[in-house]
Structure 1
Amino acid sequence: MTSPPPGADRPFDLETLGAGLVFAASLPALEDALAANAPAGTAVVQAPPGTGKTTLVPPLVANLAGRVIVTQPRRVAARAAARRLAQLDGSRVGDRVGYTVRGEHHAGPATRVEFVTPGILLRRLLADPGLEGIGAVIIDEVHERALDTDLLLGLLAEVHELRGDLTFLAMSATLDAPRFAALLSTADGEGPAPVIDCPSALHRLETRWEPAAVARLDDRGVTRAFLDHVATTAATAHHSALVADPAVDALVFVPGAWEVAQVAGALRRRVGAGVEVLELHGQIDSASQDRAVKGRDAGDPPRVVVSTSLAESSLTVPGVRLVIDSGLAREPRRDATRGMTGLVTVSASRASADQRAGRAARQGPGTVVRCYDQKTFGAAPGHPTPEIAVAELTGAALTLACWGAPGGRGLKLPQEPPRTTLADALAVLTELGAIDVNGLATGLGRTLSGIPAEPRLARALIDGTAWQQAAAPGHQAGTNRKAAARSVAEIVAMVAGEARAPGADLTRLLAALRSGSDPASRSWKRETTRLEAILARTWAPAAPAAATAEASRPGAPAEAGLIVALAYPDRIARRVESGAGQSYLLASGTRAGLPAGSSLAGQPWLAVAEVSRGAGRAAAGTGAVIRSAAPLDAETAEAAAGHLLTDRVHARFESGRVLARRERRLGSIVLGTTPVRASVEEAAAAVATALETGGLDIIGFSARADGLRRRMALLHRELGAPWPDVSESALLGRLDDWLGPELQALAAGAGVKSVDLAEPLRRLLPWPQASRFADLAPERLLVPSGSKVRIDYPAIGDEQARPVVAVKLQECFGWAATPRLVDERVPVLFHLLSPRGSALAVTDDLASFWSGPYAQVRAEMRGKYPKHPWPEDPWSSTATAKTKRRLTEGGSGAAKK
């Protein structure tokens, strides 16, 4: 066993470490707060970037509590923090101060402070929930609200409660400390954790606004014209700053790696050889990252570092006195409709803009130049969107399931995950076999959680090895597995990594990684070796039948395409032609386009690893762009996504008849279609579906059926049950109860014109109440003239209208009592008509009409219609539909006045 180096156990010299750091003044308050609740002290440290909290808090806590783990949200920040503290401590990285990030481990038994990324600590927690041997955990940069950091806060809060001797701190650079203080309650649980503040370390900061005359964003993303404006602004501002102070370095913020490369290239053309332009983002190798953040040595030329938000808060770039800010950031977004997750370019929050600006005033007076106007700044959101609210949650859900808290149940998380997103994630985990019916992790789920890739890729790593082994030439089994494991590990490391596929082509990227021509080759090879080691100790499933069938097929499948298809079967895509040109239809139903000039253009099938929202030519009018994919063939697609294959008859009712086709599909992708004759059941279902979609107007109500339905509706309105609801929704909800025979007839080929809905509606009349139907709601009304006049019942759904009888005025002479329907509940509304049928009066009170308004009607109408009776006394006159002459000829005794 290796002995710890001499002096490994000595306390950290805080006075030496804190020389010149603002946070040194806050150390006594922090020490007192932790001591007050020892040994399980808690605290929230709120201090702006550059004050020294990351340098000073871990050694203080290590002196008090023993070995400390400190999380940093990014690998470059973890490495930089460890090297800085080790340098100040006078020790070697890996001894008293160490770090662990993906693919790198520099820590040992003597390590007192270890910096790690949140993902590393999450996997350690799952392997060792008690964190044996660890005296304290510090979660840094909690204000960034990264998903893994939020999960750690919830899990560690529980560990802190259970252990009783674990010191637990959170550190934030913004004013959101109360939220985190409530999560990190004191050891007795009776109150929030104490908050330790620190004054800002900023010197005087000048803010300048240099908005561009061009748009920052268009439908393709950040415009080249705007990036050119950023580069020009940076070159001009840096040149002016150097005139006053040759020691000034500049830091330029743009949203992503592509924009970093564009601006850096433009700057190199503008500043010449006298200024060094460096790039800083997550896709470059660790040596290049470290070079950008370590500061320049004596004699080095001035520098301009072009960075993503990586340099915003989690690390300090020495020498920076000038910041140029594009005002843009990349944030994760999930498109639930299309099932896509990816980074989108948005306006940086005001908090992010302030932190970026603060980088210029850490070591002296500085300047920030914002490449946008004050109105845009004011309209920006106050804080970045928490990742848990917008990201895909499959990996997080698996972590929670392994912890024994499905969906975060019982944990004190800063924010609950959205229910819909969480449900989608749990569905994926169930399909993978990673969780059981109770939402807890299965053995396979725990295996997948230990693989540094998202769960679907982790499952493809395991299954893909069996597939590749089955498809390999017949050698010794051990040799086959080793070769297969290497191939699959390479592909998974590539897809899980940060290297970008040129033109979205993963096959080209794989070739570049293998040849070493891609900048990410070194880190990719390390990750491949790590995945191989995981595979070597992981249960290996037997090759499925589909894999064996693939092995016997001439022409082996493209290796990258196979593994991607196994990981993301719902993203298998087939080329389709559209009005905007070629696009691809994914098995999930999403349509997406390829980037312009992609070498994948024309491929009939693709296995898509990443698809995100987009617009412009690349999206081909679909609203989505394929970011990485590999060629595939139809046979491999079907074999890899066998659970998505369906072979069904699809019948539809169209133009009055049933049409059917047998469709073979891979998810939403139609593989083949053939006209067939639908079975009676399929045809009946098609008719029912058509009615539910298009409504009963597809058949139509005859006048007889419409009248019957209105009568029934009035009884339901006035009397309720058992008289049936005959609204459209109610009828569609119980088609089998009243329209069953007609549905069968239509399914058998009968035309819609042969169906009269009157008789089917009668099937809904309740028994024995139906015997009174004609009395309660008669079809016609007998008027005094002897005519039987049709009653117009209210339209369906009209809750106020009344039954209407339109009848000639002369046919109602002498009628005093207005008739009422539905057991005298509803008075009839009369439309009294002229001899030619025009309306003369509307009334539901005949007695009042004869006694009053009739006289005026008579005065106006007797000259216009002299052949018809208009008696002065309608009470004593005979009601009639005849003229005066016909009344005389018929021996009528009608009075003539």
Structure 2
Amino acid sequence: MLQLPIDALIPDVRRTLSAHARAVLVAEPGAGKTTRVPLALLNEPWLQGRKILMLEPRRLAAKAAARYMAEMLGEKVGQTVGYRVRLETKVSAQTRIEVITEGVLTRLLQADQALEDTGVVIFDEFHERSLQADLGLALCLESQTVLRDDLRILVMSATLDAAAVSALMGDAPVLVSEGRSYPVVTHHLPRKRDETVEQATARAIEMALARDEGDILAFLPGAREIRRVEAMLAGLKRVPGIRIAPLYGMLPQQAQEAALQPGQQGERKIVISTPIAETSLTVEGVRIVVDSGLMRVPRFSPRTGMTRLETAKVSRASADQRRGRAGRQAPGVCYRLWSETEDRALAEHRTPEIAEADLAPLALELAAWGVADPGALQWLTPPPAAAYAQSVELLKQLGALNASGALTGHGRQMAELGMEPRLAHMVLRAIPLHLGEMACELAAMLQERDVFGGDRQGDDADIRLRFAALHDFARQAQAAQGTAADAAVKRRVLEEAAQWKRRLGLSGATSADKDANCGLLLALAYPDRIGQNRGDGRFILSGGRGAVFGKPQQLSQEAYLVAAELDDQGTDSRIRLAAPLTLDDLYRHFDELIVREAVVRWDDQARNVRARKRERLGALLLKETVWPNPEQGEVVQALLEGVRTEGLDLLTWTKPAKQLRERLAFMHRHARGDGWPDVSDEALLEGLDEWLAPHLYGMKQREDLQRLQPASLLEGMLSWPQRQALEQDAPTHVTVPSGSRIPIDYSDPDAPVLAVRLQEMFGLQHTPRLAGGRVPVVLHLLSPAHRPVQVTRDLASFWRDAYFEVKKDLKGRYPKHVWPDDPLAAAPTNRAKPRS
């Protein structure tokens, strides 16, 4: 048997797990940890005949690892070594090693929290930090602490912060295998201007074929890009000795195995793969790596509640792992399709999925586990509090959790299904409507890649077209149609739907009226994405967001629809998948979500009170009728809201009313004792209920408000003693020595102004004062032409010091007027000369 680097460390692994319940193993890619460690532990005494569970993050890697270990034992998969992945299980009563994907571990733990038939759980490739891996480790640590102190936990990875994982696991021992690697020469071939990633990859592959020896492994972010590069390299397929082998999860097993096997003698193999070949899988014969530097990552948008796949740059750790694939068996070469400057900017590690994923599945699993607060478990990266709280609220809306956050019976059924929570809710609610079979198909379709793939039909967002294509495919006995990849997607959707139907005891027949019910089912899953046409082909969603189609299509004309997928770009998200919904279905099936309310509000356009009866679903206004006889109290409040919105100028403020308000402001500032009302804008608006509301009964519009007398309303705020004090301490006029009654300007409460002709003040020695003598007026002394000649608060000082200079000027300008040498002894006058 071929010796691998991990073999030298196997005795240490055995000794460590014999003495410790937890351990961390770090081994370079190609060291052999995935296949050698489980087999080495198979007969350990502490295992006591129990199973070994090993988690792999990808289905393809899980199945390949199980097949390889079975071959090493000279057996078939399903005997000593088996696997469990979504939609496929190969185990038997004699199976001791089960290679499983991460979601399967969660199901096993929920069914048996103690994992009684398991001796060790191995987390392989933990550095990928998937949400399910983090959850699985947290639950296993909890199970080990509370229920199974003899359960072993081994975390394995090629690139991992071993110290952090060891600390999480109570300072677990760390074992390190250096692996075996050969030198790899790295070339940077950045993409040219306007060159697509597919074009750059094809160019690099052709260059490598000409310059270097060995098989090629090219990394691209997804199957769509792989098919495009295949098409660009079509000419190479006709060259003798060259074989192009795609590798991605949706390929048939035979095609996957062909990509992994070494090429024939004299043959050069070009494997074009998604990141599934980055770790775990060994592609034999590879000496050259072409790395696009891109990968697909799930990103959750709190705005839309959608998780979408985005193309992003790889991390430094991922790039190094990809490069290492070229140096497993001999010296190699790596072509990176980015510059050295871009290379230095790469993040060291990928962001843990738990930090940016939809946490609703996690919240549902924890509730099923019996944990309300995720802080009760041990996490390498705790789930973000805000995102987790949002997920809990969604589960409450779906009826999975009660008001206190405890799992309901409906929630337990959702958790047992193992679907995304929205889809599980949809399927369970569809069964009483006799739509369970169709709901299973719809759920399977929404969890897989679009059945139209890259076809031009995919531009049409109508999900009913996908149903038709799926059922056409099924009627033709799953005969391949379109591309092989699209046929694989359709086949997988049908298999997944069939599995759920069997679990739920459904007949397997789908409702004939698919077109009418598709939107209804989507609305069960996405009640916050029910859309109402705004009249221009744009939609407002019940959750408050805007949405629009990328280009006009039949659904653009629908009055109501449900958006199953949005792109979350811009103000109005683009609708990628949707189905129409009737208003009748909304009332029939979502009546509990419809809010019926009577709305009385101020219309700032019409400037009157509008009273309406409304029926509303979230942000959607379903129905509105006039309410002819609203409650008077609500009308009054609407009028008050109008005044608050538009301001006090909505009332008619006459000159006397304005002066009264200014006098009250003066008294509020300067009067002795409390109780004088604050008549500032802020205070009056805040106190509308007290001084204005009692006078509004019977009114409905602006004209009614303008008939009010604000002066009377303000006087109503005063007691009788205050009214008397107001006349005495803040009079409207002052009688000056000439006998004239001169108005006082109170616009500045700290400096009331008396504007009077200087001649009318002859004989008055001191400045008039207000507020019981505490506040002098500001005298604006005017010329005979009513132009200011002096401003003073101290009249005595003016007569003594400034009058004679002013007199010289006035005497020259107004010679017919009398300008006495002694103004205090002169007779005041409001004429040119005093009367004799």
TM beyond 0.5? yes
Aligned to 1:480: none
1:99 to 83, 86, 89: 83
**Quick check: 1:754 aligned with 2:707?**
yes
Distance 1:232 1:736 in 2: 71
Aligned to 2:465: 508
CA, structure 1 residues 54+851, in 2 after alignment: closer, same or farther (shift >3 Å)?
farther
TM-fit CA distance, 1:763:
6.1
Aligned to 1:778: 730
Match of 1:512, SS?
helix
Distance 2:61 2:29 in 1: 13
What code does the residue aligned with 1:412 have? Q
Q: Is this contact kept in 2: 1:650–1:662, CA < 8 A?
A: yes
1:534 to 494, 503, 521: 503
2:567 to 603, 607, 612: 612
Aligned to 1:165: 150
1:210 to 189, 204, 207: 189
**Quick check: 1:498 aligned with 2:456?**
no
CA, structure 1 residues 666+861, in 2 after alignment: closer, same or farther (shift >3 Å)?
same
Aligned to 1:233: 200
**Quick check: 1:42 aligned with 2:11?**
no
Aligned to 1:406: 372
Match of 1:792, SS?
coil
Match of 2:566, SS?
strand
Q: Which has the larger displacement, 851-860 or 585-594?
A: 851-860
Distance 1:418 1:713 in 2: 53
Aligned to 1:455: 421
Match of 1:448, SS?
helix
CA, structure 1 residues 699+329, in 2 after alignment: closer, same or farther (shift >3 Å)?
farther
Distance 1:768 1:640 in 2: 63
Distance 2:491 2:621 in 1: 42
What code does the residue aligned with 2:746 have? I
Distance 1:717 1:413 in 2: 62
Aligned to 1:629: 578
Distance 1:416 1:724 in 2: 55
Match of 1:525, SS?
helix
Distance 1:262 1:738 in 2: 75
Distance 2:237 2:754 in 1: 92
TM-fit CA distance, 1:870:
8.0
Distance 2:11 2:761 in 1: 103
Q: Which has the greater radius of gyration?
A: 2
What code does the residue aligned with 1:778 have? A
Match of 1:436, SS?
coil
Aligned to 1:563: 521
Distance 2:419 2:704 in 1: 58
Deviations 1:539-598 (A, max 9, x none): xxxxxxxxxxxx9xx9786343332222223323344443xxx33333333332335586
Aligned to 1:679: 630
Q: Is this contact kept in 2: 1:715–1:822, CA < 8 A?
A: no
Distance 2:225 2:725 in 1: 77
Q: Is this contact kept in 2: 1:74–1:314, CA < 8 A?
A: no
Distance 2:802 2:283 in 1: 95
Aligned to 1:220: none
Distance 2:595 2:620 in 1: 10
**Quick check: 1:653 aligned with 2:603?**
yes
Distance 1:700 1:277 in 2: 85
Distance 1:420 1:823 in 2: 62
Distance 2:777 2:539 in 1: 63
Q: Is this contact kept in 2: 1:97–1:114, CA < 8 A?
A: yes
Distance 1:117 1:86 in 2: 18
Q: How many residues align?
A: 799
2:834 to 880, 889, 896: 889
CA, structure 1 residues 732+251, in 2 after alignment: closer, same or farther (shift >3 Å)?
farther
Distance 2:405 2:592 in 1: 22
CA, structure 1 residues 629+776, in 2 after alignment: closer, same or farther (shift >3 Å)?
farther
Map 1:871-882 onto structure 2 (within 5 A). Answer: none
TM-fit CA distance, 1:259:
3.5
1:247 to 211, 214, 218: 214
What code does the residue aligned with 1:52 have? G
Map 1:391-790 onto structure 2 (within 5 A). Answer: 391-468=357-434, 485-501=436-452, 502=458, 503-514=460-471, 515=473, 516=478, 517=481, 518-536=487-505, 558-578=516-536, 582-596=537-551, 600=555, 602-614=557-569, 623-651=572-600, 652-654=602-604, 655-675=606-626, 677=628, 679-681=630-632, 682-699=634-651, 732=685, 735-747=688-700, 750-760=703-713, 774=726, 778=730, 787-790=742-745
CA, structure 1 residues 243+441, in 2 after alignment: closer, same or farther (shift >3 Å)?
same
CA, structure 1 residues 744+211, in 2 after alignment: closer, same or farther (shift >3 Å)?
farther
Distance 2:213 2:442 in 1: 47
CA, structure 1 residues 161+751, in 2 after alignment: closer, same or farther (shift >3 Å)?
same
2:162 to 170, 177, 201: 177
Q: Is this contact kept in 1: 2:753–2:777, CA < 8 A?
A: yes
Aligned to 1:478: none
1:791 to 740, 746, 750: 746
CA, structure 1 residues 24+661, in 2 after alignment: closer, same or farther (shift >3 Å)?
same
Q: Is this contact kept in 2: 1:330–1:344, CA < 8 A?
A: yes
Q: Structure 1 unaligned segments of length 5 or more: list them.
A: 1-15, 186-191, 215-224, 469-483, 539-550, 616-621, 795-801, 892-897
Aligned to 1:133: 117
What code does the residue aligned with 2:444 have? A
CA, structure 1 residues 99+659, in 2 after alignment: closer, same or farther (shift >3 Å)?
same
Map 1:316-355 onto structure 2 (within 5 A). Answer: 316-355=282-321
TM-fit CA distance, 1:285:
4.1
Distance 1:600 1:760 in 2: 58
**Quick check: 1:805 aligned with 2:762?**
no
CA, structure 1 residues 730+371, in 2 after alignment: closer, same or farther (shift >3 Å)?
farther
Match of 1:585, SS?
strand
TM-fit CA distance, 1:450:
0.8
CA, structure 1 residues 665+758, in 2 after alignment: closer, same or farther (shift >3 Å)?
same
User: RMSD in angstroms over aligned alpha carbons?
Assistant: 4.3
Match of 1:135, SS?
strand
Distance 1:462 1:341 in 2: 22
Distance 1:289 1:808 in 2: 105
Q: Is this contact kept in 2: 1:47–1:172, CA < 8 A?
A: yes
TM-fit CA distance, 1:434:
1.5
Percent identical = 34
CA, structure 1 residues 791+149, in 2 after alignment: closer, same or farther (shift >3 Å)?
same
TM-fit CA distance, 1:71:
1.9
Q: Is this contact kept in 2: 1:805–1:828, CA < 8 A?
A: no
CA, structure 1 residues 845+631, in 2 after alignment: closer, same or farther (shift >3 Å)?
same
Distance 1:289 1:177 in 2: 36
Q: Which has the larger displacement, 830-839 or 602-611?
A: 830-839
CA, structure 1 residues 732+383, in 2 after alignment: closer, same or farther (shift >3 Å)?
farther
CA, structure 1 residues 782+829, in 2 after alignment: closer, same or farther (shift >3 Å)?
closer
Distance 2:586 2:681 in 1: 44
Deviations 1:863-890 (A, max 9, x none): 667778888888x57797x57x64x414
Aligned to 1:13: none
Deviations 1:31-57 (A, max 9, x none): 555455x3xx22333444444343344
Distance 2:788 2:346 in 1: 65
Q: Is this contact kept in 1: 2:667–2:771, CA < 8 A?
A: no
Aligned to 1:546: none
Q: Which has the larger displacement, 584-593 or 681-690?
A: 681-690
Q: Is this contact kept in 2: 1:101–1:120, CA < 8 A?
A: yes
Distance 1:310 1:864 in 2: 101
Structure 1 length-normalised TM:
0.77
Aligned to 2:103: 119
Q: Is this contact kept in 1: 2:607–2:701, CA < 8 A?
A: no
Q: Which has the larger displacement, 502-511 or 641-650?
A: 641-650
